[in-house]
Structure 1
């Protein structure tokens, strides 16, 4: 059974016209929406979604996460239709579908400690004692290359790379089946980017994780992904094995890949 299946997903937007009147904007739809997207993520796989800014990557991420209903098509996660299941089923699936966002600082509550940030999903879905929860958080911090003593820190006491590791620890806390990585390293410097990407690769192998890795960075996608879908103007131009990424056939794909 495939883990995630997108079948003919489309989403367009409405833009304000003269005097506030609503009209369908073809330009907006083509720059931010998606059209007739079909994708499959298998267990243990990282599928890279590669495209330039405005190609529709963020729209696609929100649809997969259950945050934005498509106009047409079907999203199936663990053989359940995300937009046609009941609230209780969606809540059950939520623990197996996590996300790491681009901006590590805006993804957390600045007033919370690292222990509170990572412990949030544990408190939402589990019933651990305070001592057991603290032990699990310490293990998660060590898993992502931080120290157990970091749990008392607040976001402002950490670098961007350290805080992104905290976000990754929070994402893997419930041992999810799939993590959506929405530009997770684009705001970090090159050295930290490489460290985070290699660590994500290690976690994928060690924990048998699956990723949907959304990025505009060709080299980052090449490092982490098993297969790549190249998106432009809201449509999939080409799907290709990562080893063949720099030998893609479609003219638009070649432009995007070689723009690096």
Structure 2
């Protein structure tokens, strides 16, 4: 079943100088269409400036398109009511490239992972602690790590914390925005293997945005090539 359907999504940017406007080249997206099925991963592959980040922000609800529709679980995201948008924010999570800038350095690992749980769930302190311990173990860390601060963890460990936070609410879709590009090759494979395991275990779908062809080929079920805002190819690995 199709979980996410993008239909002719277009977003352009303008730069203004006094009374003139010029559409920026090499930014935005132009008439992008794709379908992402439940329990699968679609890789969006492209160079810097190809429009990958713009597309990711549109899917996350952070940037409305100029035209086209984006349907998630049968609902047009940008024409939905407040309740639908609240559910959408729960069902779509994100893991960013820079694991350190994605967290508050003053928060413990427990508080970082607990953020979405506290926003959407009602848990006792013990229930929360137990849930966070399970999430940490699910991403290859240990329960005792919840008392640490980001500065006490490596980049790979902290990225696993970000993944644990992203899956805390059992979302239907996770947008992976260059999630392993800042890590060394061994840690990259470990992170991608954990994400694969989570897909098999809890049925999460992924939109994997990257410029790294080898990582996309290793992880994604289907690959789309984005070039200067347009999808040039879409198919299996």
Same fold (TM over 0.5): yes
Is residue 145 of structure 1 aligned with residue 143 of structure 2? Answer: no
- Shift in Å, 1:72: 0.4
Residue 3 of structure 1 corresponds to 3
Q: Secondary structure at the match of 1:220?
A: helix
TM-score, scaled to structure 2:
0.98
Q: How many residues align?
A: 237
- Shift in Å, 1:87: 1.9
Is residue 117 of structure 1 aligned with residue 112 of structure 2? Answer: yes
- Shift in Å, 1:35: 0.1
Residue 66 of structure 2 corresponds to 71
1: distance between equivalents of 2:44 and 2:161?
Answer: 24
Distance 1:22 1:82, change over 3 A: farther
Distance 1:131 1:12, change over 3 A: same
Alignment of 1:1-150 (within 5 A): 1-17=1-17, 20-25=18-23, 28=24, 30-150=25-145
Structure 2 unaligned spans of 5+: none
Deviations along 1:150-188, one digit per CA (max 9) or x if unpaired, are 000000100000000000000000001000000000111
Structure 1 unaligned spans of 5+: 243-260
Report the more deviating stretch, 82-91 or 155-164.
82-91
TM-score, scaled to structure 1:
0.89
Which structure would you say has the larger RCO, counting Cα contacts within 8 Å and 6 or more residues apart?
Answer: 2
- Shift in Å, 1:22: 4.6
Q: Secondary structure at the match of 1:89?
A: helix
Deviations along 1:191-232, one digit per CA (max 9) or x if unpaired, are 111111111111111111100000000000011100000010
- Shift in Å, 1:2: 1.2
1: distance between equivalents of 2:7 and 2:26?
Answer: 20
Contact 1:14 1:22 in 2 (8 A): no
